[in-house]
Structure 1
Amino acid sequence: MDNPLSKIDYNKTNGLVPAIIQDAKTKNVLMLGYMNEEAVAKTQETGNVTFYSRSKERLWTKGEESGNFLELVDLKVDCDNDTLLIQAKPVGPTCHKGTDTCWGEANSSNFAFLSKLEAVIKDRHDNPDEESYTSSLFKKGINKVAQKVGEEAVEVVIEAKDNSEELFLNESADLLYHYMILLRAKGYDLEDVVKVLEDRH
């Protein structure tokens, strides 16, 4: 079977190809570097992502001075064979300025809209609003929150046996929303649940 890395076209950009570094877990983009054939080989050999530094004019293993290595998880070549996507496990911050990414963003898990909803739920928990339904549930205590999750779960089961797509999806949304409230009431986040699923996988 052909090695896809043997198809990398280093000639298009004078011996260097851009390498996008992505956190293997969070899927966030951490940085962009450049690699030549030797850098790719050393990355595979050592398991630590190595670049060709254009300023130092030599191979440079990320973390060789700081200890903030990028441990290789996977390496892919794009459809034109001239760009690499490297999934890695960062050991410490990636940027030399001390931030998680070279764009100054936190390298935290993101579940798209669910992360925004989770932030709103957390705010309603930490900063109660008398007019907020979510805050009122937190105020009633863990038993009421858990009871509400049970009620919504029953509603989902009932609608699953019917043929109304709208009712089923609405009850499913209610269940997910109240479950996220329960997680916050217990002091957990979606990421904690995802970690359990990942460990099982």
Structure 2
Amino acid sequence: MKIDWQKVNGLLPVIVQDETSKDVLMLAYMNKEAFNLTLTSGFAHYFSRTKKRIWKKGEESENTQEVKKIFLDCDNDTLLLSVKQIGVACHTGSKSCFFNEIKLNGEFTKTLNIKKPLNYDVLDELYHIILDRKLNANPETSYVAKVFNRGENAILKKVVEESNELTLACKDLTKFNTYDEFKKEQFGEHIKDNPEYDVVYEASDLVFHLLIALAMHNIHPSRIYDELARRNGISGIEEKKSRKI
């Protein structure tokens, strides 16, 4: 047997099934490196299309998948993993990622089976919530869905607006720290005499709308972490010089 990596452009679909219950838990993708790591470690590793990197299932949540059997389909281009699932498979806390049922009449129903909250950082959690709102929510009841419904220009306009509001909040904080003793102006839009909170508040708004812009292009925020880590220890001047014009 030989996997046809060329046929799938180096990215193999992987169906994951619980070895005991036979429930289908999730669908993921492997490149050759992830496949080899899975074979050598005995635990499922995948390639994230949004993070653009290898990840071990459970690396953050500790909900790992111990691989018991691996099956290759008849076309040599899809894998089936039979796994011992530790905890739950889905980042939502549901046992399986497949909890959205599409009825034969086209109606959608959601049957979440939450086991326990997972240990993901707040940006990852927000990003997945935004993706869910992008695809499933009603623009009449969801702010995120409404922004997506208005299109790219509306999303990017909000990023610009929130950047400006953060700038103004920073300027107000500077004036407060410099001239507060004269008591000629009041500062603190959200909490009286606490303009520092305004900076935090507006920065949070900016990050939230940046996540919406990233989700528009299916770019996971961890790629920002990776880029910052790449630059860590590199002179900013040298980093700019290294950029291709």
Report the TM-score, using the length of structure 2 for normalisation.
0.40
Question: Which one has more relative contact order, counting CA pairs under 8 Å at least 6 apart?
Answer: 1
